[in-house]
A = this chain, B = another copy of it.
Amino acid sequence: MRATLIYGRGDVRVEEVPDPVLAAPTDAIVRVTRACVCGSDLHRYRGMEPVAEGLRIGHEFMGVVEDTGADVRSVKRGDVVLVPFLWTDNSCDFCRDGLHGSCRNGGRWAMNGLDGGQGEAARVPQADGTLIKLPVGADDPVIPSVMALSDVLPTGHHAAVTAAVGKGSTVAVIGDGAVGLSAVLSAARLGAERIVLLGRHRARTDLGRRFGATDVVPERGEEAVAAVRALTGGDGTPHVLECVGNTAAFETALGVVRDGGTISRVGVPQYAEARLDFDVFMRNITITGGVAPARRYIPELLAEVLDGTIAPGEMFDLSVGLDDVPAGFRAMNDREALKVLVRP
């Protein structure tokens, strides 16, 4: 089959790779009908040292079940399934605690010999715990919104949940990428009254307003902090959803958070250390968040996608075939596209 490989900074190729085969009785083989390019894929696209053998890539996908191992009970050949960005048994103590990122029998796509999502097919370990059977066809018009449930919407939702956003909350969302916009949508869905979106790309912040942002702050750095504080009586917001993952975004988060408030980080950190100094201590700032347990949130969010309450699929503004995945990376990297849908 054909699949996407990354060879280094700016070097993504679609090449022939071995077809997936069942390796354990809990596996399923899924023919991929849609995949996405994720903002976190761009971290490697921007910074990875060259490698001689390309690495598989992609962790957001859906498809049709082609085969199942002997122990798989919840899906069968022909089922249309959504695949979360982590595979999990959905039954260990960590999963039962809603912490699927720490699943005792789970892991990440495109690692340790596993397929990535940006290819024609994938072997799915722990199929019963991982796959969500969809009640719609693989080409249903709602599919782009369903695809947002593989990663970005649950990730934005995780930011809002872990930052304890609720009815009447005042929230700052840092970043107008797909995760930031998902965080806006999630905060609005949870009842936030005021949602300040920090972003400077007009098309994105306009979509952010449609998703529920009440204010947009296009400034950066200290000017952004001053603007958010000006909007909030000088004190900042009790809830900050940090959806970028670099040091500048973390500093902005510390600048806009109200004393006693919470910063939830859902942008994969591109730093090893961050400021947790006397000032952060005296202000009683809480840092929370982390990798989202998408599998836990999908049933609840899927119901609202299917009944039309939310339409996160509006984020996809470019659709490419498998051979054009490299062009999709380029478009996202150059900020010409917000979120790329792949149709293998």
A276 pairs with B278, CB closer than 8 A: no
The answer to whether the Cβ of A288 comes within 8 Å of any Cβ in the partner chain is yes
- CB distance A94 to B269 under 8 Å? no
Please tell me if the beta carbons of A101 and B283 are within 8 angstroms of each other in the complex: yes
Mask of A273-307 contacts with B, CB within 8 angstroms, 1/0? 11111101111111111110000000000000000
Q: Which residues of chain B have C-beta atoms less than 8 A from A273's C-beta?
A: 273-277
Cβ-based interface call for A102 (8 A) = yes
How far apart sit A103 and B284, CA to CA, in the bound complex (Å)? 12
* Minimal Cβ-Cβ distance residue in B for A265: B281
A94: chain B residues at CB < 8 Å are 259-260
Q: A281-B291, A286-B286 are in contact. Are A271 and B276 (CB under 8 A)?
A: yes
One of B99, B259, B269 near A276 (C-beta < 8 A): B269
Residues on B with beta carbons closer than 8 Å to the beta carbon of A280: 269, 290
| Cα A153 to Cα B180 with chains together (Å) | 41
Is A219 on the interface with B (CB-CB < 8 A)?
no
Within 8 A of B (CB), among A247-272: 250, 259-260, 265, 268-269, 271-272
Q: Which residues of A (71-102) have their CB < 8 Å from a CB of B?
A: 94, 97, 99, 101-102
CB-CB < 8 A to A274: which residues of B? Answer: 273-274, 276
Task: Indicate if the CB atoms of A286 and B287 lie closer than 8 Å.
Answer: yes
Contacts of A277 in B (CB 8 A): 269, 271-273
Whether A260 lies near B291 (C-beta < 8 A) is no
Chain A interface size, as a band, is 20 to 34
Interface readout for A18-29 with B: 1 if CB under 8 Å, 0 if not?
000000000000
Task: Give the complex CA separation of A283 and B103 in angstroms.
Answer: 10
In the assembly, what is the distance between CA of A271 and CA of B277, in Å? 6
Are B287 and A291 neighbours in the complex by a CB distance under 8 Å? Answer: no
Asked if B290 contacts A285 (CB within 8 A), the reply is yes
Interface residue ranges of A286-331 to B (CB < 8 Å): 286-291
Question: Closest CB of chain B to A38's CB: distance in Å?
Answer: 15
Cα-based distance from A101 to B282 in the complex (angstroms): 7
| Chain B minimum-CB-distance residue to A260 | B99
Q: Return the chain B residue nearest A273 by Cβ.
A: B273
* Cα–Cα distance between A265 and B282 once the two chains are bound (Å): 11
The CA-CA distance from A281 to B162 in the complex, in Å, is 13
Q: Is the CB of A269 within 8 A of B278?
A: yes
Tell me, in angstroms, the Cα distance from A47 to B86 when the chains sit together.
47
A286 cross-chain contacts in B, Cβ below 8 A: 162, 286-288
Contact B269 A97, beta carbon cutoff 8 Å: no
A181 vs chain B, min Cβ distance (A): 20
In contact, B276 and A284 (Cβ under 8 angstroms) = no
B271 & A102 in contact (Cβ 8 Å cutoff): no
Query: Given the known A-B contacts A259-B99, A274-B274, A276-B276, are A269 and B290 also in contact in the complex, defined by CB atoms under 8 Å?
Result: no
Using a CB–CB cutoff of 8 Å, the interface residues on chain A facing chain B are 94, 97, 99, 101-102, 162, 250, 259-260, 265, 268-269, 271-278, 280-291
Q: List 9 A-B contacts (CB under 8 A).
A: A94-B259, A271-B276, A271-B277, A273-B276, A281-B289, A281-B290, A281-B291, A282-B290, A286-B288
